[in-house]
Amino acid sequence: MTEQQEAFIVGWREWVGLPGLGIDSIKCKVDTGARTSALHAFAVDSFTRDGAEWVRFGLHPKQHDTETEVWCEAPVKDVRNVTDSGGNVTERYFIETDVQIGNERFAIELSLTCRDTMMFRMLLGRQALKQKRLIVDSGASYLQSGRHGRSK
Residue 15 lies in a domain: yes
Q: Does a structural domain hold residue 33?
A: yes
1 within domain boundaries: no
Pairing outcome for strands 23-30 and 78-83: unpaired
DSSP sequence for 57-107: EEE--STT-SS--EEEEEE--EEEEEE-TTS-EEEEEEEEEEEEETTEEEE
15 within 8 A of 25, measured Cβ to Cβ: yes
Question: Is residue 152 domain-resident?
Answer: no
pTM: 0.88
pLDDT in tens, 1-59: 445 567 789 999 999 999 999 999 999 999 999 999 999 999 999 999 999 999 999 99
Number of structural domains (the chain) is 1
Residue 3 lies in a domain: no
- The answer to whether 72 and 57 are in contact (CB under 8 A) is yes
| pLDDT 10s digits, 77-129 | 999 998 877 888 989 999 999 999 998 999 999 999 998 888 899 999 999 99
Residue 151 lies in a domain: no
118: in domain: yes
CATH of the domain at 88: 2.40.70.10
Is 98 domain-assigned? yes
Q: Residue 31 sits in which domain range?
A: 8-145
Yes or no: say if 47 and 54 are a contact pair by the CB < 8 Å rule: yes
